[in-house]
Amino acid sequence: MTSTSSRPDPGLHDLFARFSACGATQTGGVHRLCGSAADGLARDLFAATVAETGGTLRTDAVGNQFGLFSLAGRSDAPRVMLGSHLDSQPQGGRFDGTLGVATALRVGAALVGAKARGRAYDADLCVVNWTNEEGARFRPGLLGSGTYAGHHRAEDALASQDDAGVTLERALAAIGHRGTDTAPPLPACYLELHVEQGSVLTGGGATIGIVMRNWGATKIDAVFTGAQAHTGPCPMPLRRDALLAAAYAIAEVRAIADRWPGQVHTSVGRIRVEPNSANVVPSRVEISVEIRSGADPILAEAGALADGALKAAAGRARTNLSVLGRVERPVRALPGAVADLLALAAEETGYRAMPMDTVAGHDALSLLGACPTGLVFVPSIGGIAHDVAEETSDADMQAGLAVMLRSADRLCRAGGSPERAIREAAR
């Protein structure tokens, strides 16, 4: 039916192994923070692979890398975009983001090959590596895709600082990946493959997850300000201990999740303490709070409880509270037509698919609403994520590639329109 093959592609494993070597840890994971030397190596490999495959590279002001593959043979052709991110969490896994980028690059190679063999396309392909998806070194996360989709101004994104005060702009410049190219316009359709980072697929006996909606998330960066004092002589009633305030808040944020078992996830993963010396009452403590839920009304209630918990914690420890940032991401549905096309591709390639939610944020959610957007999951062994032990089987990697290739091929033949692709598939 199509001239693109669904046989296993050994090139995927080769390319993935080369990305995994960039910032590899001795424990089998990767430590590839956005804008680090290791990130620079992965970006160099992305650029080289685009060039080898006959594509053209563009790097925009915030370091997003776009590999453009001409398939339609005309300058005004619409574009289908596929991609994800190459940055990792500290001591993170090899698959998170990178599998989506490597898969998109292999799709690019396959479509370029099919075109060379005479297959006709009515859209071009763009493969993308988004900057700072993780939000580990620079905040907020989804920074590159969010800037591309118009949620942030490029100058604000570039001014984001890591904990050492280095800006994203300086970090990108230091590794030679602060671009000056204009980003390509919004695509006709955006597709992303990602590892699930949970255990729903395995539990459901499926290989392919088709994301129908995302959980909402409220992310709060809060600062408690107390007063530096000697931990010895300073009388307890006079202390204004910012770390104590943070401790009260962290415990209370956890308790919020227990009010809605299975429906609300909460966390504080990051803390920054000043002056952070054993003999000094901490004067300033910053924490990053996350609250997630699949139901907006619950998320709103849980978020209000978190606001109250932060205030109560500040008061109890005699500190001041200020909120540096608050990001709310509502529960949203992904477009049905894209999901239908992905389900069709799974069926055609012989993989069992199931509809599901994403609890985690992904670059696809940045583009949701800006263009038709699809998100595909493949299984994470044991549900392990954001850890060096993160793993996806070779067979599942190939399954993901097969579904993405079939979907992209159909979309590029149909001018990037998922509806037209489904109609043409029915013929």
Which positions from 244 through 283 interact with a copy of itself, judged by CB under 8 A?
A: 244, 246-251, 254, 257-258, 261-262, 265-283
Residue 358 structure tokens: 């994403």
Q: Which of 256, 254, 244 is nearest to 314 (CA)?
A: 244
Per-residue interface string for the shown chain with a copy of itself, residues 180-209, x marking contact by CB under 8 A:
----------------xxx-----------
**Strand, helix or coil for residue 323:** strand
Q: Determine which residue in the list 80, 128, 360, 365 makes contact with a copy of itself, applying CB under 8 A.
A: 360
Q: Determine which residue in the list 228, 340, 381, 419 makes contact with a copy of itself, applying CB under 8 A.
A: 228
Instruction: Give the Cα separation of 416 and 287 in Å (integer).
Output: 42
Q: Determine which residue in the list 85, 106, 139, 420 makes contact with a copy of itself, applying CB under 8 A.
A: 139
Residue 156 identity (one-letter amino acid): D
Q: Which of 227, 223, 327 is nearest to 271 (CA)?
A: 223
Q: Which of 70, 88, 101 is nearest to 24 (CA)?
A: 88
Which residues in 37-96 contact a copy of itself (CB under 8 A)?
A: 89-92
Q: Which is nearer to a copy of itself, 269 or 350 (CB)?
A: 269
Residue 269 identity (one-letter amino acid): G
Which residues in 385-424 contact a copy of itself (CB under 8 A)?
A: 385-388
C-beta of 376: minimal distance to a copy of itself in Å?
Answer: 15
Q: Which is nearer to a copy of itself, 67 or 92 (CB)?
A: 92
Q: Determine which residue in the list 186, 234, 298, 337 makes contact with a copy of itself, applying CB under 8 A.
A: 234
Binding region for a copy of itself (CB under 8 A) out of 71-79, 104-112, 212-220, 396-404? 212-220
Q: Applying CB under 8 A, does 153 fall inside the site for a copy of itself? A: no
Q: Which is nearer to a copy of itself, 72 or 385 (CB)?
A: 385
Q: Applying CB under 8 A, does 217 fall inside the site for a copy of itself? A: yes
Residue 386 annotated as part of some ligand binding site: yes
Residue 328 identity (one-letter amino acid): E
Binding region for a copy of itself (CB under 8 A) out of 13-21, 101-109, 300-308, 377-385? 377-385
Size of residue set near a copy of itself by CB under 8 A: 73
C-beta of 104: minimal distance to a copy of itself in Å?
Answer: 22
What phi, psi does 287 have (nearest 5°)?
Answer: -130, 150
C-beta of 352: minimal distance to a copy of itself in Å?
Answer: 20
Binding region for a copy of itself (CB under 8 A) out of 98-106, 172-180, 295-303, 358-366? 358-366
Residue 325 structure tokens: 């940032």
Residue 329 identity (one-letter amino acid): R
> Are the CB atoms for 19 and 101 separated by under 8 Å?
yes
Question: DSSP letter string over 174-201?
Answer: HTT----SPPPPPPSEEEEEEE--SSHH
Q: Applying CB under 8 A, does 219 fall inside the site for a copy of itself? A: yes
Instruction: Give the Cα separation of 42 and 97 in Å (integer).
Output: 12
A 10 A CB-CB count for 56 gives 13
* Sequence-ordered list of residues with C-beta below 8 angstroms from that of 35, at least 6 positions apart, any chain: 63, 87, 132, 137, 138, 162, 166, 168, 171, 172, 174, 175, 177
Q: Which is nearer to a copy of itself, 2 or 263 (CB)?
A: 263
C-beta of 164: minimal distance to a copy of itself in Å?
Answer: 12
Which residues in 308-327 contact a copy of itself (CB under 8 A)?
A: none
Instruction: Give the Cα separation of 373 and 368 in Å (integer).
Output: 6
Instruction: Give the Cα separation of 182 and 170 in Å (integer).
Output: 19
Residue 134 annotated as part of some ligand binding site: yes
C-beta of 330: minimal distance to a copy of itself in Å?
Answer: 15
Element (H, E) at 38: helix 37-52
C-beta of 319: minimal distance to a copy of itself in Å?
Answer: 13
Q: Which is nearer to a copy of itself, 227 or 370 (CB)?
A: 227
Residue 96 annotated as part of some ligand binding site: yes
Bond before 275 cis per omega within 30 degrees: yes
CA distances from 150 to 257, 360, 371 (A): 32, 21, 12
Q: Which is nearer to a copy of itself, 18 or 31 (CB)?
A: 31
Residue 69 structure tokens: 């593959």
Could you list the residues known to form a binding site, using ranges. Answer: 85, 96, 134, 194, 386
Could you list the residues known to form a binding site for Zn(2+), using ranges. Answer: 85, 96, 134, 194, 386
